[in-house]
Chain A
Amino acid sequence: AQSVTQLDSHVSVSEGTPVLLRCNYSSSYSPSLFWYVQHPNKGLQLLLKYTSAATLVKGINGFEAEFKKSETSFHLTKPSAHMSDAAEYFCVVSDRRGTYKYIFGTGTRLKVLA
C-alpha cells in the first residue's frame, strides 16, 4: 500500500525566513509524488511533482522539494517565506494500482508571521 505522512499539522514562520514542510512516503513502487497548495476557499493548485528525472524538483513561487529515497522523504522548502504563502499544503502520492488516484497526506497549515 502507498501512503504519505505529513509530520507537522501546523508550521509557523516569520516572513523572510525559510520554510520546511515535511513529508515521508511509503510505497512498494517508485513513487510519483506531488505537493499541492490550497489557499482559503480556493481550489488545490499544483506546486511541483517528482517524476524521477531529477531528485531536486523546482516548483512555482520559489518552492522546491528534494526526493530522498534512503530517507523515504519528499520535504518541501522555500528559502524565504512571503505572507502570501500562508495556506494549507498537501503532500500526495499517486496510486499506481490502475487508477492513479491521489492519496493525500493530512495537510500542513503554514502560518506566516509579519
Chain B
Amino acid sequence: DAGVIQSPRHEVTEMGQEVTLRCKPISGHNSLFWYRQTMMRGLELLIYFNNNVPIDDSGMPEDRFSAKMPNASFSTLKIQPSEPRDSAVYFCASSFSGDWNTGELFFGEGSRLTVL
C-alpha cells in the first residue's frame, strides 16, 4: 500500500528562491499535517488540515510560509523567499480524524531542504 508521498526528497537552493514542497496523503485519510524537524527544535507542527480546511496554522513561522490543500489527495508547503534558517527536514503526515486518538500519524519520508 502506498504511504504518504513527499517530493522532492532533497532540495538545495539559494537564499531568496521560492521553494515548493509537495505531499500526497494516504488515500482515505482526511487529516494532513506539515511538520518541520531541526536538531535544535525537534519536530514542530506548522499547520494541519481537516477535510482540506486549514484548522491550525499557529506554527507557521511567518508570512514567508504558506500551505494549501486544494483537494483530498494533494497539499503544498511553499516558502517564498527562502532563508538559510529554513534549512530543515519537512515532514508531511496524514491520519483519519475519526481514529485520531489512536495517535497514529503516518509520516512521509520527508523533504530535506538546504538553503545556502
A-B interaction: no
Chain A positions near chain B (C-beta within 8 angstroms): none
